[in-house]
Amino acid sequence: MLIELEIDAFIFQKSAFDLLIDARSPKEFCESHIPNAQNFYALNDAEHQEIGTLYKQVSRNDAKILGARYICQNVASHLERIAKEYKIGSKIGIYCARGGLRSSSIAIILSHIGYQVYRLQGGYKQYRFHVLTYLENLPHHRFIVLGGNTGCGKSELLQSLKPSIDLEKLANHLGSSFGNIKGAQPSQKAFENSLCEILSKIDPSATIFIEAESKRMGKCIVPALLHERMSQGYRVEITAPLTQRVERILKDYHDITPLFFDQSMQMIAPYIKKSVKEEVISAYEKGNLAEVAKILLIEYYDLVYKKPRHIDITLDNADERATLDALEALHVKLSTF
């Protein structure tokens, strides 16, 4: 069985798929893809480039014939794994770049074997249009925005609050000069895809917990309308004792490398006193990361933090359970309006 679906129907069915196949090349897949998709490519990176060049510069027919050969070879290698992990009759969603030959070739084979195959018309290009349209017309209006100085525990609070969106986790960035400690960030497209995936599962009328962030988090940019709605949200300023803030910082930066430390210090050097920079470097060279964190919090992060003009309430996070109870009670109160 092979059914062609337009984007809205495909999105509606997506949670029911036993397997979601991205038939594009590994390079395309790694750049961004529909969340939870697996890459069973029709053409690998080299083959995709070769076929494209042949199609444009030599002969369309020759390109189609060579492409078909490559697709048959690749599908043959994929079938063993698919058949092993997904029994015949399973529901499989599939897409390629524009809903063309790559996805249709694999879809036809799988459907003839006995799988229930649902192919996305317009492919990934249509999915991206769906994501951008959703984010540009965001149906969610109600946000409880957690702000506060670095290390106050906002991210930890979000992990226990529902519904919530952790932008730092999605962007794989802590939103500061030392924020890329987590490693490589997703592409902007991948960031938007994940964000749309989470938001679309939350009732538009719900009040959502989210952390106050600048528009840019490393190389990821928060969608304009979401950032605007965040600025209009109910603002909760979180505070915490300095000792606890230092402890939280050390959890994220306990294995900081000399190279990462040097690069990050170069970024903030224009914004701190020379004496402070020397003091931080000296503490780092002595292996005293707690002192490094303490100095940077007081002499850099707290100084550059811009507290908003309007704050609805302030909560001290010395006792996380008490803070969570207060936030959950606030959520119930605001959700009744």
Q: Is 12 exposed, middle or buried (0-12, 13-18, 19+ CB in 10 A)?
A: exposed
The C-alpha atoms of residue 119 and residue 97 are separated, in whole angstroms, by: 12
The C-alpha atoms of residue 187 and residue 219 are separated, in whole angstroms, by: 8
CA–centroid distance for 61 within its chain:
40
The C-alpha atoms of residue 40 and residue 55 are separated, in whole angstroms, by: 23
Q: Which of 96, 152, 196, 220 is catalytic?
A: 96
Which residues on neighbouring strands pair with residue 95, listed in sequence order? 22
Residue carrying structure tokens 């069973």: 40
Residue 96 among the catalytic residues:
yes
List, as one string, the DSSP characters of 251-319.
HHHTT--HHHHHHHHHHHGGGS-HHHHHHHHHHHHTT-HHHHHHHHIIIIIHHH----S--SEEEETTS
CA–centroid distance for 84 within its chain:
30
Instruction: Give the catalytic positions in this structure.
Output: 96
